[in-house]
Amino acid sequence: EVQLVESGGGLVQPGGSLRLSCAASGFTFSSYEMNWVRQAPGKGLEWVSYISSSGSTIYYADSVKGRFTISRDNAKNSLYLQMNSLRAEDTAVYYCARVDYGGNSTYYYYYMDVWGKGTTVTVSS
Amino acid sequence: AIQLTQSPSSLSASVGDRVTITCRASQGISSALAWYQQKPGKAPKLLIYDASSLESGVPSRFSGSGSGTDFTLTISSLQPEDFATYYCQQFNNYPLLTFGGGTKVEIK
For the segment A72-111, what is each residue's pLDDT rounded down to a tens digit?
A: 999 999 999 999 999 999 999 999 999 999 888 788 889 9
pLDDT computed for residue A106 by the predictor:
84
**What CA–CA distance (Å, rounded) separates A109 from B10?**
28
Once rounded to an integer, what is the mean pLDDT over residues A33-51? Answer: 97
Contacts with B26 (C-beta within 8 Å, 6 or more apart), sequence order: B2, B3, B4, B5, B69
- Residue in A with minimal Cα distance to B37: A45
How far is B66 from chain A, CA to nearest CA, in Å? 15
Task: Find chain B residues with C-beta within 8 A of A45's C-beta.
Answer: 36, 38, 44, 87, 89, 99, 102
Chain B residue closest in CA terms to A42: B40
Best of B97, B103, B104 to disrupt the A interface by mutation (most A CBs within 10 Å)?
B97
Residue A101 identity (one-letter amino acid): Y
Query: Which residues in chain A are closer than 8 Å to B101, comparing Cβ atoms?
Result: 44
Residue B82, SS3 per DSSP: helix
pLDDT per residue as tens digits for the range B30-64: 999 999 999 999 999 999 999 999 999 999 999 99
User: Which residues on chain B are in Cβ contact (under 8 Å) with A99?
Assistant: 95
Nearest CA in chain A to B94: A110
Edge-first strand listing for the sheet containing A78-83: A3-7, A18-25, A78-83, A68-73
Distance from the Cα of B30 to chain A's closest Cα (Å) equals 10
Give the count of beta carbons closer than 10 Å to the beta carbon of residue B98: 21
Whether B7 and chain A come into contact, CB under 8 Å, resolves to: no
pLDDT for A85:
98
